[in-house]
């Protein structure tokens, strides 16, 4: 009887509590203004950055890493960062760099993610703010500081040190008994073997990144020979000619095209990764070139069905990573300049870069942040750790390298001779030094 008596009491208690809670929920106070009150003083910072095409089935790790740091800045500062972007539909469209240049010149946005040639151009035009005074700049590696300083101003700071390398299908090299190439001769031999074994185009290329081959061969000695400053000074004064440095790389590239190891026609109209990526992933092409982050993200080469390795470009000094410097910059006349600087300060803080580097598995520009890389990147990382690399862009050189070389390589792809290309370099050097 005692046990049976428990149930009614228990049920009565539950019903009482339920009734009380239900009644309590009915008694909400209504404010006099029924509309939710928005924060009228919403601070907005416009960020212009490229946007890779969205793949519904893949995670864009690189994008996620940047988003995390943006979210951190929003949380800490109470600002909203609005994304502005542009993507070229095809090669006939304006490029991202073109649009970024125009937008920065027109003060359309506050923050910009810029390629090295644009950084140099805008820096020289005085369209970018000097970032030397922000706290995060104090933690930068020297190489970053040097590569992004224009006329004594630190005009851009990257969230990662971008290193370009050759992405190779190790399985295919093993299949034909080939060692990974160290020198241009090795590379040509590998291409020959692949070609003879029915691989139509051993090297997948696009219209953007072929200059990495050229730059690797051009500046392998300059950056690793122990006389860098003097050689750059000679180039800036006109005593040395860029064409002399560039010639071996262009000749090598020309040979690759002539022998059919690179499909020049296709490369000249291909966007990065979109053009050559599918063949590489399908194991029809054993070699492509790309940046470090492509090895980490599924939208590029982060998920392959074969063993992939990333090595440096062939040069007289062996495998050579090429490191251009993209960077975040603040417009000199930006509408929300102060907020943009604060956002940038947070995005480049050690805390944010740690998250960025861990998410994206890249080399951090901060000397305080160290992250292990994925196994595929180890050969490239080892060279960088040894201090052996070539800068793809250097604001210390009067003649901008990354963008100009790219454009002149496109001319080579379009059928120009090596001599014509060298003449273009000479012309460019003369015009620049004349200013």
Partner 1 sequence: MNHEPNKQNNRKGLLLSIVLIFCILGTFVYAISRKISREMSDSAIQSLSESLDLIECTIEAILRSEAEFQVLIAQKIAQTEDPEAYIQAYEKNRTMSKISLILSGKTEGVSNSGERFTAEDLDFSAGGTVMGLPVSQSYVNYMGTWSYTIKCPVVRDGQEIGVLYAEYIYDAIDQSLPDGFYNKQATLYIMDAESERFVLKPEGMGMRSAGHLNLADFYRANSIQDPDIQTEVDECLKSGRNILFYHDIRKEKALNYMWAVNGGTVYLVGYVPLEAIQHEGRSINQNIFVVVASMLVAFLLCIFLYYCNWQQQEKFREEQELERRIHSQQLSEALQAAQIASESKTMFLSNMSHDIRTPMNAVLGFTTLLARDAEDAAKVREYTKKITSSGQHLLSLINDILDVSKIESGKVALNLEKFSLNDVVASVDAIIQPMAKAKGQTLHIDVNGVRHESLLGDETRINQILINLLSNAVKYTPEEGHIWFRIIGLKQRSSQYERIRIEVEDDGYGMTPEYLETIFDAFTRAENSTTNKVQGTGLGMAITKSIVELMGGTIEVTSEVNRGSLFCVELELRILEDQTDRQFWEKHGIRRILALIGSQECRENIRALVTDAGLEVETAGSLEEALRLLPEGDFQLALLDWEAFDGVQTARDIRKAVPSSPILFLAEYDADGIEKALKNGRAGVLTKPFFLSAFRQKVEELWSGAETPESQQDASLEGLRFLAAEDNEINAEILAELLSMEGAGCEIVENGQLAVERFQQSAEGEFDAILMDVQMPVMNGHDASRAIRALSREDAGRIPIIAMTANAFAEDEKAALAAGMDAHVAKPLDLGLLKKVISQCRKDAHI
- From residue 49, how far is each of 101, 107, 422 by CA, in Å? 12, 14, 33
Structure tokens that stand for 53 in this block: 């095409």
* 85 or 417: CB nearest partner 1: 85
Least distance CB 329 / partner 1 (angstroms): 15
With contacts defined by CB under 8 A, name the span among 91-99, 173-181, 362-370, 388-396 that binds partner 1: 91-99
Q: How far is the CB of 93 from partner 1 (least distance, A)?
A: 8
**112 contacts 328 by C-beta, under 8 angstroms:** yes
Instruction: Measure the CA–CA gap between 168 and 76, rounded to whole angstroms.
Output: 42
For residue 256, the SS3 value is: helix
Quick check: 100 binds partner 1 (CB under 8 A)? yes
DSSP characters over 56-97: TTS--HHHHHHHHHHHHHHHHH-EEEEEE----SSTTSPPHH
Residue 7 engages partner 1 in binding (rule: CB under 8 A): yes
What x/- string results for residues 61 through 80 when contact with partner 1 is judged by CB under 8 A? --x---x-------------
> Of the candidates 29, 40, 41, 89, which one interacts with partner 1 according to CB under 8 A?
89
Q: Residues touching partner 1: how many (CB under 8 A)? A: 31
Site for partner 1 in 197-256 (CB under 8 A): none
Q: In whole angstroms, what is the distance from residue 324 CA to residue 401 CA?
A: 9
Q: How far apart are CA 355 and CA 329, in angstroms?
A: 20
Q: Is 83 in the site for partner 1 (CB under 8 A)?
A: yes
Sign for the pseudo-dihedral over CA of 268, 288, 55, 118: negative
* 54 binding partner 1? (CB under 8 A): yes
State whether the Cα torsion 176-177-182-187 is positive or negative.
Answer: negative
60 versus 69: smaller Cβ distance to partner 1:
60
Q: Closest CB to partner 1 among 9 and 30?
A: 9
* Position 386 contacts partner 1 (CB under 8 A): no
- Decide if residue 103 touches partner 1 (CB under 8 A): yes
Q: What are phi and psi of 417, to 5 degrees?
A: -85, 170
Q: In the set 16, 85, 197, 237, which binds partner 1 (CB under 8 A)? A: 85
Q: Is 4 in the site for partner 1 (CB under 8 A)?
A: yes
Confirm or reject binding of residue 87 to partner 1 (CB under 8 A): yes
Residue partners of 215: CB distance under 8 A and separation at least 6: 249, 322, 390, 392, 401, 402, 405
The binding site for partner 1 (CB under 8 A) comprises: 1, 4, 7-8, 11, 51, 53-56, 60, 63, 67, 82-83, 85-87, 89, 93-94, 98-106, 108
């Amino acid at each position: 009887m005692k046990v049976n008596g428990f149930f009614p009491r228990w049920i009565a208690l539950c019903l009482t509590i339920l009734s009380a809670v239900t009644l309590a929920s009915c008694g909400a106070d209504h404010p006099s203004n029924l509309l939710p009150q928005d924060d009228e003083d919403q601070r907005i910072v416009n960020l212009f950055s490229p946007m890779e095409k969205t793949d519904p089935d893949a995670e864009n790790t690189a994008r996620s890493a940047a988003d995390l740091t943006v979210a951190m800045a929003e949380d800490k500062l109470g600002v909203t960062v609005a994304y502005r972007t542009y993507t070229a539909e095809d090669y006939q469209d304006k490029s991202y760099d073109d649009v970024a240049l125009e937008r920065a010149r027109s003060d359309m946005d506050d923050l910009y993610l810029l390629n090295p040639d644009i950084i140099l151009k805008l820096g020289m035009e005085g369209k970018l703010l000097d970032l030397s005074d922000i706290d995060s700049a104090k933690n930068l590696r020297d190489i970053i500081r040097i590569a992004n300083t224009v006329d004594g101003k630190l005009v851009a700071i990257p969230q990662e040190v971008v290193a370009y390398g050759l992405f190779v299908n190790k399985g295919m090299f093993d299949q034909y008994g080939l060692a990974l190439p160290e020198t241009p001769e090795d590379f040509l031999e590998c291409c020959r073997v692949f070609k003879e074994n029915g691989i139509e185009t051993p090297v997948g290329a696009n219209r953007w990144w072929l200059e990495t081959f050229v730059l690797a061969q051009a500046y392998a000695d300059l950056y690793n020979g122990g006389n860098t400053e003097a050689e750059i000074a000679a180039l800036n004064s006109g005593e040395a000619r860029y064409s002399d440095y560039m010639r071996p790389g262009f000749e090598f590239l020309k040979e690759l095209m002539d022998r059919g190891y690179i499909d020049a026609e296709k490369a000249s109209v291909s966007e990065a990764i979109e053009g050559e990526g599918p063949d590489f992933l399908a194991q029809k092409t054993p070699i492509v070139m790309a940046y470090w982050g492509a090895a980490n993200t599924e939208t590029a080469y982060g998920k392959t069905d074969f063993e992939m390795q990333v090595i440096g470009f062939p040069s007289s000094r062996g495998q050579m990573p090429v490191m251009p410097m993209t960077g975040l910059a603040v417009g000199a006349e930006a509408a929300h300049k102060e907020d943009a600087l604060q956002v940038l300060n947070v995005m480049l803080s050690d805390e944010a870069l740690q998250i960025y580097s861990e998410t994206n598995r890249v080399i951090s520009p901060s000397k305080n942040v160290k992250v292990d890389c994925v196994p595929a990147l180890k050969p490239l990382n080892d060279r960088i750790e040894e201090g052996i690399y070539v800068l793809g862009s250097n604001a210390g050189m009067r003649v901008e390298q990354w963008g100009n070389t790219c454009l002149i390589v496109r001319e080579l792809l379009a059928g120009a001779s090596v001599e014509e290309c060298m003449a273009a370099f000479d012309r460019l050097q003369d015009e620049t030094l004349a200013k």
